[in-house]
Structure 1
Amino acid sequence: MKKKIIVGVVTVSLLAGTGLYSYNQRVLAKEAAQIEQIQIEKLENAERAVDSLYNSKRTMLAGDLKTKLKKAEIAVSKVEKTGAKERLSKEIRQVKKIAKVQQEVYGTLKNGVLIKNVTLENLKEINQSLITIKSQNERIYAYLAEYLSEANSQLTAIDTALNKVKEAEKSLDRKMYNNALKLVNKVKNPVKREELSKKLEQVNTKLVAMEEERLAAEKATSEKLATEQHQSAVPSNSKQPISSSSAPSNNSSNGSVSSNPKANSSTGSNNSNYSGTTSDGSSSETNWDEAGKNLEDHDWSNSGSGEIGTTGNGSGNTWDSWN
């Protein structure tokens, strides 16, 4: 009887122990599942925090990056899986490096306009830094490279305009000035554009003075030439009626007699100055140049004309009288 009781107690104890073990295992499994879920949630939170460091397409870094970096670092520190934690920590370090390069690139332009003190050497150094992040994120590299290219283009425009301004200053040529002015107007930086414009204003002042001086000289030359032409034309016109009156007309060839005003004027006191005999009876040589000049200095008017020994049909001799 005692043996039966002992066997029964042992059997019950075994059954109770088995049930307790199964219960404990279920509890442990549930706890493990809960722990796993917590770890998964921590990893997901860390990944979301790291993703927030970029824009939706990961083509550029997000705004308010400093604050988001702190949150991401805290979230990643809670991740217990070693591999995932290291991966996310590495990405945070890369973002910090990209952010530093991005800040250098953004420092070349302000509101799309080149900063005044940026030099070609600055752009070369920034470009070298930019190349180092190409392997980490090619999309961000492409965006920042395009941004830096705009800065380089604006700097090139300034240097080109400056060289043209120097050429205009040296040549003092209106065409060179106009070419330089077009390039200066394309400079986006207002400070640089103003500096170059002032240099061109000085060039233009000199050009205007030169142009006015040249126009004045051309005007003086034109007026002098016109005066000379007028003076050369006056003696020629005054001699024409004298030479025509002294030459025989077509009517005189037919036997007409012409009373020449010069011939009439030669009879008088002035006649002794040009021809005839001197007071001592000796002959003097006629000075026709002096005689012609004297006669040309008088004003002559026709006082009458007519025909001699004709019936009025114009076939006889003619006469003219001059005073």
Structure 2
Amino acid sequence: MVKKKIIVGAVTLTLLAGAGVGVFAYNNHVEALELERIEKVKKENYEKAEAAILSLYNKDKTSLAENINAEMIANAKKLMVKVEDKKNLDYLNAELKNINTMYDAQLKVQELLNENILADNVSKEQLSEAEKLIEKTKSISETFYNDLKNNYTTANEQYGYIVATQTKVSNLEKNPTRDAYNESIEAVKGILNKSYRDNLSNKLVKINELLTKKENEIKLAKELEKKEKEISEKVTTSENYEKASRNNKNETSSSNNNSVQKKTSSNKSSNESSNVTNKSTNKSSSSTAKSNSSSTSTSNKTSSNKTSGENKNSSSNKPSSSSSSNKPNSGGVVVDGVKKDGGGDIKDSDRTYETGTFTMPDEYYNN
């Protein structure tokens, strides 16, 4: 009896032990399956997070994905929360940090340009901030850094050109000149941004209107000055003509006077020469006349004596005629009513003589 109880107890214990082992084994199996499931989930979570991170890059991870956006980055970050493995999580966090750095720099550069043209209202502060973010990408990807740097340089150059052109136009507004205006026109044409270009072009239109008005005033003033000068030249020419005319008249009058004086002097010299010649001739004639008169007187005396001798007898018988009425003409001249040289009688008031010679007084020739 006692033996039966012992056997039954042993069997019971054995059965109980076996059941316990089975339960334990089952539990272990269940736990193993859970662990496997958990590991699988963890792996899946990591893979999803990693895939989300990698999708933010291009294929070779040298740049960001073309379609990257803030939503994609936020989604990847959410997936990373489920990643429990520290090592994997650290890796994903490092990648996400690089992506955020690259993305921030890219966004800043994109704000500067619009299809390679400087965007509206870009400031110097924006350029400075973009430059700093770009520098942070150099250690992440050289290719990405160079691309952003080139775009930044394009934006910065356009910005500098616009600022320089704005300064040029601003100075032109203060001191407008046609040359500076022409330079500004060409400068404004070089601005790619339409908004900036139109704004400066409108300013140049107003400046051109001001310059045109000023140039027209200057042109009008020059035309008036030219007309005044022409009038002045005409007046001067007229005055010079009148002066020259007067001088010509004076010269002509003086020349005529000189000609008259020369003619008078020539006539006087000719008259003096003629008078001298006449005087000489008259003297010679007078001398000849005197000689002839003397000869004639001598001849007359001889003839008279002969006649007297022949008629002496008869004349003594006839009464003699009055000799006083037949005075011999010894020759003479009357000048200013005065009888000169010679014995001719004056027949009448015309101062003519019957016979004889005469000599003009020296005073006559001297006059």
- TM-score normalized with structure 2 length: 0.51
Q: Name the SS of the counterpart of 1:247 in structure 2.
A: helix
Mapped contact 1:109–1:151 kept (Cα < 8 A): yes
Which residue does the alignment assign to 1:142? 146
Say how many residue pairs are matched: 223
CA shift in 2, pair 1:75/1:169, >3 Å: closer
Which residue does the alignment assign to 1:246? 253
Q: 1:191 aligns with which of 195, 203, 207?
A: 195
Mapped contact 1:160–1:183 kept (Cα < 8 A): no
Q: 1:215: Cα distance to partner?
A: 1.1
CA shift in 2, pair 1:80/1:120, >3 Å: closer
Residues 168-210 of structure 1: CA deviation (Å, up to 9, x unaligned): 1111211222222222221211111111111111111111111
Letter in 2 for 1:243: N
Asked if residue 53 in structure 1 is aligned to residue 56 in structure 2, the reply is yes
Residues 17-39 of structure 1: CA deviation (Å, up to 9, x unaligned): xxxxxxxxxxxxxxxxxxx9xx9
Q: 1:60: Cα distance to partner?
A: 2.5
Mapped contact 1:76–1:88 kept (Cα < 8 A): yes
User: How far, CA to CA, are the matches of 1:58 and 1:165 in structure 2?
Assistant: 47
Letter in 2 for 1:177: Y
Q: 1:46: Cα distance to partner?
A: 7.3
User: How far, CA to CA, are the matches of 1:252 and 1:58 in structure 2?
Assistant: 121
Which range moves more in the overlay, 81-90 or 184-193? Answer: 81-90
Mapped contact 1:53–1:69 kept (Cα < 8 A): yes
User: How far, CA to CA, are the matches of 1:182 and 1:236 in structure 2?
Assistant: 53
User: How far, CA to CA, are the matches of 2:236 and 2:113 in structure 1?
Assistant: 72
Asked if residue 255 in structure 1 is aligned to residue 259 in structure 2, the reply is no
Highest RCO, 1 vs 2 (Cα 8 Å, sep ≥ 6): 1
Greater percentage in helix: 2
Residues 228-276 of structure 1: CA deviation (Å, up to 9, x unaligned): 11112123324524234323269937739xxxxxxxxxxxxxxxxxxxx
Q: 1:161: Cα distance to partner?
A: 0.8
Give the unaligned 5+ runs of structure 1: 1-35, 257-323
Which residue does the alignment assign to 2:210? 206
Q: 1:63 aligns with which of 55, 66, 78?
A: 66
CA shift in 2, pair 1:68/1:235, >3 Å: closer
Asked if residue 121 in structure 1 is aligned to residue 125 in structure 2, the reply is yes
Which residue does the alignment assign to 2:31? none
Mapped contact 1:43–1:79 kept (Cα < 8 A): yes
Letter in 2 for 1:181: I
Q: 1:221: Cα distance to partner?
A: 1.0
Q: Name the SS of the counterpart of 2:263 in structure 1.
A: coil
Which range moves more in the overlay, 237-246 or 174-183? Answer: 237-246
What is the RMSD computed on CA atoms of the aligned residues?
Answer: 3.8
Residues 40-95 of structure 1: CA deviation (Å, up to 9, x unaligned): 99988877765443334544311222476578669878989764553244213321
Q: 1:230 aligns with which of 215, 230, 234?
A: 234
Q: 1:106: Cα distance to partner?
A: 0.6
Q: 1:152: Cα distance to partner?
A: 1.4
Mapped contact 2:112–2:152 kept (Cα < 8 A): yes
User: How far, CA to CA, are the matches of 1:141 and 1:180 in structure 2?
Assistant: 36
Q: 1:162 aligns with which of 166, 189, 194?
A: 166
Larger radius of gyration: 2
Q: Name the SS of the counterpart of 2:146 in structure 1.
A: helix
- TM-score normalized with structure 1 length: 0.57
